[in-house]
Each structure stands twice: as C-alpha cells, then as structure tokens.
Amino acid sequence: MRAFFKGTLKMNKQNLLSVSYTKIIITAVIAFFMLLTRGSHVLTSVSLPDASLALLLIGGLYLRKAVWFALFVVLATAIDFGAAAIDSIQAFCLTDGYWGMLPTYAVMWLAGVWLSKQADSTNIAKYATASVISTLAAFVISTQTYYLFSGRFPDAGIVESMQHGWEYLPSYMGFTAMYLLAFWALTKALPKLHNAIKLPSSGSIA
C-alpha cells in the first residue's frame, strides 16, 4: 500500500512538473510574438501588425489563470513605455486613457478562458463568435477610454467620443482576425498538439 501511494505521489509530481513546463513554454512563445509584433518592434525592423489582442485570447485559452494575464499586461506595458523612452512618438497614447487597456486586454483573455471551457474550443462557430465579439468589445473599450480620458479631447462626451475612431476599426478587426485565423488553422493542422497543451485547470498558479 505504501508503495502504491509513493508511486501515485511521484506520478502526480511528474504531472505537475509537466504542466508547469508546458505553461512556461506557452508563456515564452506568446511573449516572443508580443515582442515581435508590438508597436516598438523590439525584435525586428519589419513593421508587423500588432498581435497582442490575438495573443491574449490564446493565453486565456491555454493558461487561464489571472497570474499569467497579469504577467502579459506588465509585459505589454513595459514594451510600450520602453518604446516611448526611445521614441517620443510612441508616447502619444500614453495618457490617462491608457488605463483603458486593462479592460481591453481582459475582454480578450476572458474570451479565451470561455473557449477553454468548451468541449471543442476550436469549433468554428464558437471560435469565430468569441473572436469577433471580444475584438469588437476591445475596440470600443480602448477607443472610448482614450477619447474620454486622454485629455486630448476635453469637450468630448460619450456621444461625441462614439463618433471618433471608427476609421481604425477595419484594421483593428482585420489584423486580429488574421492572427486568430492563422492560430485556428494551426490547431486544426495539429489537433493532437492542441489537445495535449489544452490542459485542465488546477488550483495552483501553474
């Protein structure tokens, strides 16, 4: 009996280590692509479209826990402020309205968490619905918080602010959709890998 419990404990420890390593790898990959595509383009001189929103949805899908979300928020913020320190043009959006990025990111993350709870997280109808609704909500939140709280439009109320920024919607939705579609195609091409890393949630931060 003692040998049985020791074997079970050893197996549980190995499983926990496997989960931790898998999540660390996922975190590293998401962080790499955030660095690669975010406004400052830290790792490349090529102006790639920002993949942050898509990456946060993917993070919610695979990682789920709030501690990982907080990590990516810190990373995104560090990239933005680091870029602003190097190039003053990058600081244009760093106003009081920048705090609106927190609920913006949260919308995408929660969409990923919702997908993670579905029996088939890559079901095209559910995946597309979650992607479109969350991206549109993220656009409205980020746009409205900027126009209302940045201080650059002192006379703008909610009605006036709703009339601005819509010219950015096609690119905002389009680039995020492009990345999310590519990710969906990858999960369909590698279903075993997707199912292997879509691990059940546990009580630990890992």
DSSP 3: H
Token pair 């400052």 in the structure block, residue: 40
- pLDDT bin (cut points 50, 70, 90) of residue 180 is very high
pLDDT of residue 7: 47
Q: In this predicted structure, what is the pLDDT of residue 194?
A: 84
Q: Which residues fall within 8 angstroms of residue 141, CB to CB, at 6 or more apart? A: 100, 103, 104, 107
pLDDT value at residue 67: 95
Residue 97 near residue 149 (C-beta atoms within 8 A): yes
Across the chain, mean pLDDT equals 82
Please say whether the dihedral angle defined by the alpha carbons of residues 80, 99, 169 and 167, taken in this order, is positive or negative.
negative
The radius of gyration of the chain's CA atoms, rounded to the nearest angstrom, is 19
Tokens of 28: 């590293």
Single-letter code of the amino acid located at 149: F
CA proximity to 71, closest of 84, 55, 83: 55
- Residues 6+ away with beta carbon under 8 Å from 194: 122, 186, 187
Question: At CB < 8 A and 24+ separation, what contacts does 187-191 make?
Answer: 187/122, 188/122
pLDDT band at 133 (very low <50, low <70, confident <90, very high): very high
Residue 154 sits at φ, ψ, to 5 deg, of -60, -25
pLDDT of residue 197: 77
Residue closest to 81 by CA, chosen among 65, 55, 66, 101: 101
CA–chain centroid gap for 46, Å, is 21
Predicted confidence (pLDDT) per residue in 26-76, tens digit: 999 999 999 989 865 555 566 789 999 999 999 999 999 999 999 999 999
DSSP string, 138-205: HHHHHHHHHHHHSSS-TT--HHHHHTSSGGGHHHHHHHHHHHHHHHHHHHHHSHHHHHHHSPPP-SS-
